[in-house]
């Protein structure tokens, strides 16, 4: 168990103070809760339950939707709560959750992903060690390394690597424009989400650079690398592409709270 590595977000003072415990950091989420799309869902649910709409709020409706989702996912049963929602309602509530993940764990603020560089660097240190041992014909000390965390561990790491990034940020006022967004947290980090780095030693290659190659799989599906648009990359090319993060992202400095008095949003 290595909480400082797998729960890096708890150990990053800047993230905790300016995002985790800062209500204004979730302004887009709160604005969407009060927006026209959620209001329409609230009115429909209130009508179905024969309740005054004033007795409901976005959080209560989201609890009902999650109860429906959990029972469907875990027990494969259609909960009575599901009857309250249409497919369009589900899309609105999915967007509400994606907004929260985007601003708290994704691209919303740089510190969300930058705080994960300690884990990113650790992964490459293990890969480096395996390459070194292979080159010197030593047995690989750790042929398999398993690290277990949460969606909150994986989402910032994927953002750090630039995956599932939309051209336009997710905001309270662009729900329609984001209908075909890449950032869908339910698909990126579902139950039992997993990210696998596979290092290959290739014998029959033309150049020494091609001897060590890497594949990445998210939820057992190969990922396309940004620099090559291929599902496999030489290890040298991959390290070169992420050179700045590997060399210049220092957890302690990234996570230090600013010394001067600035507002949280200004700093973010």
* pTM listed for this prediction: 0.92
Bridge partners of residue 196, in order along the sequence:
217
**Boundaries of every domain in the chain:** 3-255
Token pair of 208 as six digits: 């020494």
Q: What is the pLDDT of residue 258?
A: 83
Q: What percent of the chain has pLDDT over 70?
A: 97
H helix intervals, 78-211: 87-104, 110-114, 117-135, 151-160, 185-188
For residue 129, pLDDT beyond 80: yes
Would you state the pLDDT for residue 58?
96
Contacts of 73 (CB under 8 A, 6+ apart): 191
pLDDT tens profile 131-166: 999 999 999 999 999 999 999 999 999 999 999 999
Domain 3-255 in CATH 3.40.50.1240? The answer is: yes
- The whole-number pLDDT of residue 64 equals 96
């Amino acid at each position: 168990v290595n909480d400082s590595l797998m729960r890096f977000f708890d150990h990053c003072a800047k993230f905790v103070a300016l995002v985790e415990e800062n209500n204004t950091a979730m302004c887009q989420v709160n604005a969407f809760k009060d927006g026209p799309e959620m209001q329409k869902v609230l009115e429909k649910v209130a009508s179905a339950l024969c309740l005054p709409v004033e007795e409901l709020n976005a959080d209560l409706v989201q609890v009902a939707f999650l109860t429906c989702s959990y029972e469907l996912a875990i027990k494969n049963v259609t909960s009575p709560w599901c009857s309250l929602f249409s497919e369009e309602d589900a899309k609105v509530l999915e967007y509400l959750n994606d907004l929260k993940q985007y601003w708290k764990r994704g691209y919303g603020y740089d510190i969300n992903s930058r705080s994960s560089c300690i884990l990113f660097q650790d992964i490459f240190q293990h890969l480096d060690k395996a390459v070194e041992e292979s080159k010197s014909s030593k047995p690989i000390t750790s042929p398999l390394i398993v690290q277990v965390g949460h969606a909150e561990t994986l989402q910032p790491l994927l953002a750090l690597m630039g995956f599932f990034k939309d051209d336009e940020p997710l905001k309270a006022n662009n729900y329609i424009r984001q209908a075909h967004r890449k950032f869908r947290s339910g698909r990126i980090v579902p139950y039992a989400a997993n990210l696998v780095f596979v290092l290959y030693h290739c014998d029959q290659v033309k150049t020494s650079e091609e001897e060590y190659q890497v594949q990445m799989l998210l939820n057992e599906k190969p990922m396309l690398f940004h620099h090559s648009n291929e599902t496999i990359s030489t290890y040298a090319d991959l390290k070169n592409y992420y050179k700045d993060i590997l060399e210049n992202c220092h957890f302690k400095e990234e996570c230090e709270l600013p010394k001067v008095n600035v507002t949280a949003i200004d700093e973010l």
